[in-house]
Structure 1
Amino acid sequence: MNNQDIFIKANKALAEGNYVEFITYCTEDIKWENVGGKTFNGKAELYKYISSAYDGITFTTENHIKEDNFVVELGRIVFEKNGESKRSSYCDVWNFKAGMISQVTSFVI
């Protein structure tokens, strides 16, 4: 399986709320950086974050670009909370190492 295939499977698991499956695609020392916000290190910390923060979030990948060990994802995200919706755009840069996701840098505006 190449990096693009892993990205597609992992991203699908994340979008469907299957966080346990998503984590299986990550290295033990995964780093997830929300630019302008918090950074999460390691599978346990990342799992705790996504399993709580991704509740009420819907995202749609509009395009992705693969180059060497990177996949750049562009899309739209909707945050639902207390009956209110907030729409944003995002760009995630996924870095792969030995066939696993080793880092995600996320920009949401």
Structure 2
Amino acid sequence: MNTEQIARVAHEINRAYCLALGDTSQPEWKNAPDWQKSSAINNVNFHIANPDAGADHSHIEWMAEKESKGWKYGLVKDPDKKEHPCFLPYEELPTEQKAKDYIFRGVVHALS
């Protein structure tokens, strides 16, 4: 599989997990905005280049990318305001949010 295909699978698994938690903010890959697809592709590339990086590093990379694009903490995910409730240090994330980083990393390693 190529990087975009892995990112699509990881995105869809993340979307399904979010739906199970009651979070309907994740669109299907085919309807996802370019910034969201790019973020997933960048995270796939990070894990392929850094196979020993843990789930916490996945979150650190995600935050660094978001910060470089002007995102900040907000109570609800709002792409227009560039706010996200997971814009926190990894240690402060609830377990169900940390799980998304483990799942994403696991998908990348299984498919690459």
When the two structures are superposed, what TM-score results if normalisation uses the length of structure 2?
Answer: 0.30
Higher share of residues assigned strand: 1
With the length of structure 1 as denominator, give the TM-score of the two structures: 0.31
